[in-house]
């Protein structure tokens, strides 16, 4: 029974390590330092200090080695068990040790018991979560205003949960949805990254389909002259899913900004209209003369 329990603990510990090793978006250097930090955290809780321990982590193989370094002291002398070892005990490891020498002894982590292994699992899980949050925040913090296509994962009354190509969670709140939008699990949805909230290092990526920026980005994708800077979108007003007005201007007299945006027989706005649930899009010429513009 004891052998079986020890085997379970070893398997449990190996699984912890394996899960961590396979975690995405963690570079080798970070992986090694976090694993070492987690082991040291548990060792410090057991022995009161980790300073005389060497932790060697090999993330490629999925294994690790721990060595405890102690100084040999004479038998019968009062000593610190964690940092010192009696001559008799030292000679059980190697027969020729003398007082004052350093002993480096390999430590079997599974012998620390089930509580230590559970502690390690929890520490690793916490570190993984922290790293995943950092990775998610860093991936999206500079992408506000970009259009993304994501897959619907869960549909709720107040929001829709989507996932990107790396299974990161994205949120499309009710207020950022076009009223006639219908969402089904597994289908893809296009939206603009509205903002990235990061309260208590818990990033939330908020998407929008009602923002004027979403319409502008769709226009930029369909109209090369906008993307190239030959046509400028000066104003956008939207009633999402109902109608929109877009004021455009060009500083190149050879370009008709309205015609270029609409396309032949509306070909350039047709795809956008469909994407926005048949939103009626009017493209007009912009003018600085407020009365004329109105």
pLDDT at 240: 94
Q: Are strands 280-285 and 53-58 parallel, antiparallel or unpaired?
A: unpaired
pLDDT at 252: 85
CA dist., res. 8 & res. 20, Å (int)? 18
Comma-separated ranges of CATH 3.30.1480 domains in the chain? 2-139
CA dist., res. 51 & res. 123, Å (int)? 19
| Domain covering 212-293 in this structure, CATH number | 3.30.300.20
Spatial contact of 205 and 170, defined as CB atoms under 8 Å apart: yes
Comma-separated ranges of CATH 2.40.50.140 domains in the chain? 143-208
Spatial contact of 186 and 193, defined as CB atoms under 8 Å apart: no
CA dist., res. 134 & res. 275, Å (int)? 33
Comma-separated ranges of CATH 3.30.300.20 domains in the chain? 212-293
Picking from 58, 62, 56, the residue whose alpha carbon sits closest to that of residue 39 is 56
Spatial contact of 40 and 53, defined as CB atoms under 8 Å apart: yes
Query: Which CATH topology does 143-208 take?
Result: OB fold (Dihydrolipoamide Acetyltransferase, E2P) (2.40.50)
Q: What angle do CA 276, 281, 287 make, to 5 degrees?
A: 135
pLDDT at 289: 67
pLDDT at 26: 66
DSSP bridge partners of 2: none
Token duo for residue 87: 């001559």
Per-run averaged pLDDT (10 residues), the chain, 294 residues: 46 55 64 84 87 83 82 88 89 89 86 80 82 88 95 95 93 95 94 94 94 94 90 93 92 89 88 92 83 64
CA dist., res. 139 & res. 116, Å (int)? 34
Task: For tokens 């020890």, name the residue.
Answer: 6
Picking from 221, 133, 207, the residue whose alpha carbon sits closest to that of residue 177 is 207
pLDDT at 38: 85
Query: Which CATH topology does 2-139 take?
Result: N Utilization Substance Protein A; Chain:P; domain 4 (3.30.1480)
Spatial contact of 64 and 17, defined as CB atoms under 8 Å apart: yes
pLDDT at 76: 85
Spatial contact of 104 and 97, defined as CB atoms under 8 Å apart: no
* CA distances from residue 270 to 38, 132, 190, 253, 283 in whole angstroms, order as listed: 56, 40, 16, 25, 13
Task: For tokens 């379970």, name the residue.
Answer: 8
């Amino acid at each position: 029974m004891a052998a079986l329990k020890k085997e379970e603990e070893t398997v449990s510990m190996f699984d912890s390590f394996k899960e961590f090793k396979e975690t995405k978006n963690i570079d080798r250097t970070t992986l090694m330092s976090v694993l070492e930090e987690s082991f040291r955290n548990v060792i410090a809780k057991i022995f009161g200090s980790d300073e005389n321990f060497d932790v060697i982590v090999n993330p490629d193989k999925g294994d690790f080695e721990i060595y405890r370094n102690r100084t040999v002291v004479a038998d019968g002398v009062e000593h610190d068990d964690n940092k010192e070892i009696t001559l008799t005990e030292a000679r059980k490891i190697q027969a020729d040790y003398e007082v004052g020498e350093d002993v480096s002894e390999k430590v079997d982590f599974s012998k620390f018991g089930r509580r230590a292994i559970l502690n390690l699992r929890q520490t690793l899980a916490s570190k993984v979560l922290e790293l995943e949050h950092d990775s998610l925040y860093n991936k999206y913090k500079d992408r506000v205003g970009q259009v993304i296509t994501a897959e619907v994962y869960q549909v709720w009354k107040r929001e829709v949960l989507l996932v990107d190509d790396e299974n990161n969670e994205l949120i499309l709140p009710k207020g950022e949805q076009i009223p006639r939008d219908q969402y089904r699990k597994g289908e893809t949805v296009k939206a603009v990254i509205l903002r990235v909230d990061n309260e208590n290092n818990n990033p939330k990526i908020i998407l929008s389909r009602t923002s004027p920026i979403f319409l502008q980005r769709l226009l930029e994708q369909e109209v090369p002259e906008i993307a190239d800077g030959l046509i400028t979108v000066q104003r956008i007003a939207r009633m999402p899913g109902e109608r929109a007005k877009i004021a455009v201007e060009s500083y190149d007299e050879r370009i008709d900004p309205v015609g270029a945006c609409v396309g032949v027989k509306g070909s350039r706005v047709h795809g956008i209209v469909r994407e926005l649930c048949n939103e009626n899009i009017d493209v007009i010429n912009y003018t600085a003369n407020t009365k004329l513009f109105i």
